[in-house]
Amino acid sequence: METLDPDLLKTFLAFVDGGSLARAASAVGRSPSAVTAQMQRLEEIVGERLLSAKGRGRGLTPAGEDLVGHARRILAVHTEAWLAMKGARAGGRIAIGTTQDFADHGLPELLRAFAASHPRVRIELRVGRSLELGSALQAAQLDLAITMRHAPSPDEAGLISEPMLWLCSEKGLARRQEAVPLALLDPYCGFREAALNALDAAGRSYRIAAGSASLAGLRTAVNAGIAVTLRTQRFAHSGIVEAPRELGLPAVPVAHFAIRLGREAGRPARNLAELLGSGLTLPS
């Protein structure tokens, strides 16, 4: 009997959570062709078709839907075992910084698992913007930080890649406008730069209809239908959805986030960084 390779299951769940092979490829750091080959290999092991044509993309077959729950349980057991072996004798303190997107989706579940297996480690959490967190890491105020990546850095312990998406209220814009109305964080923000660069390159007129220093303010503006914004799938919840194609918004790049370790980071922080690198995937 062939066993279910956790790497194949991780890619399978990246497809389930991301909704396409292209997003799965970004999430696991592989090429689309490599992801396709992995899915074919998983189908060979299972002996059933897991994916089928659905519109312009792929969807799950009944067998694929059945596998989702099993895959999540298998990977959860793998993570639990790994953490138990790593954390039994670990102690001390970890100061971790993260952007709000990860604090809302993905990070809480992983911190819960880490805390359960590292009962003697105290976790201090700081939520902020990438520039602020990077400065705190350099000043040795943080042991570990998740920040938007603008260039490779020697302190990187992992990389998370997620497609950028144009997002708006599920009710649509409050009114039709000639220029694209934007809701953006105050400078400096990588998503802000990517949005403006994409619109400029496409020759689309736009205006900044709402600015905010926080993601909470950004969410309020988008939910009100005042504007569209550019984030990742992690921001698409509580009334916010991917913008419809009829808005004609241009293609945008993939967002890269670095998991970075401080100079004095100890073994527990390095264990947590490894867990985050393998566990932070696109939310469903």
What integer best gives the mean pLDDT of the chain?
A: 87
Q: 185 and 230 in one domain?
A: yes
Q: Do residue 209 and residue 226 come from a single domain?
A: yes
Same domain, 25 and 73: yes
Residues 175 and 208 in one domain: yes
Q: Is residue 91 pLDDT above 60, yes or no?
A: no
Q: How many domains does the chain have?
A: 3
Domain membership of residue 1 (yes or no) is: no
Q: Based on the domain organization, do 92 and 70 belong to the same domain?
A: no
The partner residues of 92 in beta bridges, in order of sequence, read 121
What's the domain range around 125? Answer: 88-162+256-279
CATH number at residue 152: 3.40.190.10
The verdict on 262 and 156 lying in the same domain is yes
Cα separation values, 237 from 36, 167, 232, Å: 28, 10, 11
Task: Specify the residue for token string 């009962």.
Answer: 119
| 101 and 215 Cβ atoms separated by less than 8 Å | yes
CA distance 224 to 272: 37
Per-residue pLDDT of 12-69, as tens digits, reads 888 888 888 888 887 787 888 888 899 899 999 988 899 888 877 788 899 999 998 8
Per-residue confidence (pLDDT) for residue 120, from 0 to 100: 79
- Residue-wise pLDDT tens digits, 70-82: 888 888 787 777 6
Whether pLDDT at 84 is above 70:
no
Query: In this predicted structure, what is the pLDDT of residue 86?
Result: 60
Burial of 235 (0-12, 13-18, 19+ CB in 10 A): buried
109 lies in some domain: yes
Last residue of a domain, one of 82, 99, 117: 82
Q: What percent of the chain has pLDDT over 70?
A: 94
Distance (Å, whole) CA 279 – CA 284 = 14
Q: What is the pTM of this model?
A: 0.68
Residue 139 to residues 133, 261, 263, 281, Cα–Cα distance (Å): 10, 12, 10, 29
